[in-house]
Amino acid sequence: MILPCIDLMDGKVVQLVQGRDKVLEGGTLDEMLERFAGFSEIQVIDLDAALGRGNNDALVEYLARRAAIRAGGGVRTPARARRLAERGARKIIIGTAAFTTAGVDHERLARMRDAAGRDRLLVALDSLEGRVVVKGWRESTAFTAEEVIAALEPYCSGFLCTCVDREGMLAGTDLAWFRRLRAATDLEMTAAGGITTLDEVRALLAMRIGVALGMALYRGRLDPAALLELERSCPPG
């Protein structure tokens, strides 16, 4: 599956480099929905909620009413996970709430799973300099994605794996890292971070890894029509 990304900050559609520096703003929500209408799902991330400085709940819910979305950013309580499920999000992405300083937060994840359903939950494994990062990618943990992925499987139906080192830089992604993660789990996996070319998209799909695309779409490096054609030509994994 290929997913275009809508990242929200201060009520606007934005794109950041490594989750820090805003480099562009997109169109209105309706313009984005029209642009991405051919894709089966859209990934929506509330950056303000991820950073703990407010939220864009109304915008996320607006998108959920009009498109098939998977929603993330600041989903740290069972109540919020349940609300997103009730508002129509097909998948709910859990990041910071999945971890403690020592590793996996089994107790909280169990509550999240009970609130929204395991089949709806995805865990975000965001990696910077080899370590999982949390709280809007501002804090680094002491463990790697490879070290915790198996322990997360009972709580979710898949993973969103972001190579933060390459995020938004249009310089290519780390295919070797995604290959290692793919070997570590049979659950659904989506790759993000630096994916820039059709060859990279093709390579990830061949590994049975979905692709979430942001900057390359917004900068015109990847064409939606070409991506949809590629997706149609690839057998389901």
Residues contacting residue 235 through CB under 8 Å, at least 6 positions apart: none
Among residues 46, 48, 57, 126, the one annotated as catalytic is 126
Q: Is the dihedral of CA 60, 1, 14, 224 positive or negative?
A: negative
Please confirm, yes or no, whether 165 is among the known catalytic residues.
no
Amino acid symbol at 14: V
In order of 73, 134, 197, the CA distances from 122 in angstroms are 12, 15, 25
Among residues 7, 48, 57, 105, the one annotated as catalytic is 7
Please confirm, yes or no, whether 30 is among the known catalytic residues.
no
DSSP helix/strand/coil, 217: helix
CB 127 within 8 A of CB 147: no
CA distance 193 to 215: 9
Residue 58: enclosing H or E segment and its boundaries? helix 57-66
In order of 27, 179, 186, the CA distances from 183 in angstroms are 38, 6, 8
Kindly list the catalytic residues.
7, 126
